[in-house]
Amino acid sequence: QKEVEQNSGPLSVPEGAIASLNCTYSDRGSQSFFWYRQYSGKSPELIMFIYSNGDKEDGRFTAQLNKASQYVSLLIRDSQPSDSATYLCAVKAGGTSYGKLTFGQGTILTVHP
């Protein structure tokens, strides 16, 4: 089992719709969770992070965390063509692997006008 798994997609949504991206992780001791966005040919850049169960909202983005289910998601409301990118879920380990940051495969999102 991979440490961090994402649906590779691609995911295609119309402009203005909600895009839903999902991620599961295997280590129950994981302490924090990150969503990065990566445009083609560029480096990953942070969108937001979450560490407590529940929802965290930042503008059009909402991250959701369910530690019991070992599940993290990212919702993008009012999707724009500029949101078209690869979205990477990352998990930071705790315990003996404290600080280790592992990424999922990434989900390719396309927002079409």
Partner 1 sequence: DAGVIQSPRHEVTEMGQEVTLRCKPISGHDYLFWYRQTMMRGLELLIYFNNNVPIDDSGMPEDRFSAKMPNASFSTLKIQPSEPRDSAVYFCASSARGGLTEAFFGQGTRLTVV
Is 35 within 8 Å of 25 (Cβ atoms)?
no
Buried/exposed 33-49: b ≥16 CB within 10 Å, e otherwise: bbbbbbeeeeebeebbb
* Choice from 45, 57, 58, 78 touching partner 1 (CB under 8 A): 45
* 64, two tokens: 């959701």
Cross-strand partners of 91: 33, 102
Q: Based on the shown chain and the rule CB under 8 A, indicate whether residue 88 belongs to the binding site for partner 1.
A: yes
Q: Which stretch binds partner 1 (CB under 8 A): 16-24, 56-64, 70-78, 104-112?
A: 104-112
Nearest to 103 by CA among 92, 113, 93, 89: 89
Q: Based on the shown chain and the rule CB under 8 A, indicate whether residue 31 belongs to the binding site for partner 1.
A: yes
CB of 25 to partner 1, least distance (A): 14
Q: Which stretch binds partner 1 (CB under 8 A): 13-21, 54-62, 74-82, 95-103?
A: 95-103
* Choice from 19, 76, 104, 109 touching partner 1 (CB under 8 A): 104
Q: Is 112 strand, coil or helix?
A: strand
Q: Based on the shown chain and the rule CB under 8 A, indicate whether residue 22 belongs to the binding site for partner 1.
A: no
CB of 98 to partner 1, least distance (A): 8
